[in-house]
Amino acid sequence: MNCVAARWAGSGARWSEAVSQRASPADIAAASAALRRGELVVMPTETVYGLAADAADPLAVGRIYALKGRPPGHPLIVHLASAAQLDAWARDIPDVARRLAAAFWPGPLTLVLWRSAQVPDAVTGGQDSVALRSPAHPVAQALLHSFGGGLAAPSANRYGHISPTRATHVRAEFGAQCPLVLDGGDCEVGVESTILSCMDGRLRILRPGGISRAQLQAVVGEAGVVEGGSEAPQADVPRVPGSTLAHYAPQTPLLCLDEANLLAQWHEAQAQGRRVGVLARRGVPSGAHEGSVWLEASHAPDIFARHLYADLRRLDAAGCDRLLVQAVPAAEAWDAVRDRLQRAAAGHKIAGFPPPGQAGMP
């Protein structure tokens, strides 16, 4: 038996992928009631599944930090039903921020603005800024409209681990501690939202995501220049989710390599009988031994992103000695994927390999 391999079907869906059931109106009502009691609820968004609590309740927000093991002082994104709620959570909102919300909400764009007086420190990490977005997923929208307020909701996983894009990921992550989960199927975008700071008269991308700099600039027009993207954020920006050097990481050591280095490491591992997992935009080479896992990824950045975390979770669960991921192109369309892979690899130091970013990662 050769190594386990999977490739893309024409529709962009992997073979044997389970179809989840959508949450019912009764499920939405139960979740809304739980949130009003100060409990946690897991909700699907178009980006990843979120661990939600009443953003106006510091005790409820504290339960997010406790369950995730999230360090204090790390701010959370507040999710809103629509831009009509902006003024309840932010102050001194520039016109360009309202235009961006009108263009991209609901959707995978988070706006960082000056916080209003009602926003608790538990949400902002003690900063004078707040991160806001309106998710596009219909289940998230139904929950937000039923609840009526803002929901603080980081990714529904242990801090620093791979983000969940399926309800099964969340249940596997939290086990017996898992709160109520609203199943909304697989997340369509698959990586977290773009975070854009709209403070101090500047527009700065603090985390690349589902909305590109070019898309933002097209809406901003002559009102300003959108800074950032693939470049590292400057030191004088607000702290935002997902900005730590090591994040989104599997338990198995992961390396990002260009195709030539990846193939060399693959063949060496095969010769030594070591079990490795690979995510690459090409088919499995000949001579693979039993036990290794090779996932062939899409060449389209949006499809690659949609399945990235599910693929990393599958490889992480395969019992491999290490994971090898083919570096992605330097084009802007790959910024979000490149950011997540660099952070996923940053926490792993493997003897005999160069540090992340020096091994064929553009």
| DSSP character string of 180-217 | EE----S-SS-SPPEEEE--TT-EEEEE--SS-HHHHH
* E strand or H helix that includes residue 110: strand 109-115
Q: Which CATH superfamily is domain 247-346 in?
A: Threonylcarbamoyl-AMP synthase, C-terminal domain (3.40.50.11030)
Separation CA 173–CA 61 (nearest Å): 19
**Residue 154, both tokens:** 């980081």
| pLDDT one-digit tens code per residue, 303-330 | 999 999 999 999 999 999 999 999 999 9
Q: Are 184 and 44 in contact (CB under 8 A)?
A: yes
| pLDDT one-digit tens code per residue, 92-150 | 999 999 999 999 999 999 999 999 999 999 999 999 999 999 999 999 999 999 999 99
Q: Are 360 and 260 in contact (CB under 8 A)?
A: yes
Rg for the chain (alpha carbons), in Å? 20
Q: 42: which strand partners?
A: 51, 181
Percent of the chain surpassing pLDDT 90 = 73
* E strand or H helix that includes residue 180: strand 180-181
Beta strand 77-79 with 151-152: parallel, antiparallel or unpaired?
antiparallel
Yes or no: is domain 25-228 CATH 3.20.20.370? Answer: no
Confidence bin at 361 (pLDDT 50/70/90): very low
Percent of the chain surpassing pLDDT 70 = 83
Domain boundaries, the chain: 25-228, 247-346
Name residue, tokens 């893309």. 8
Give the mean pLDDT of the chain. 87
Nearest Cα residue to 244 out of 129, 112, 347: 347
Q: What is the pTM for the complete model shown?
A: 0.89
Q: Are 77 and 133 in contact (CB under 8 A)?
A: yes
Separation CA 261–CA 124 (nearest Å): 42
Q: 199: which strand partners?
A: none
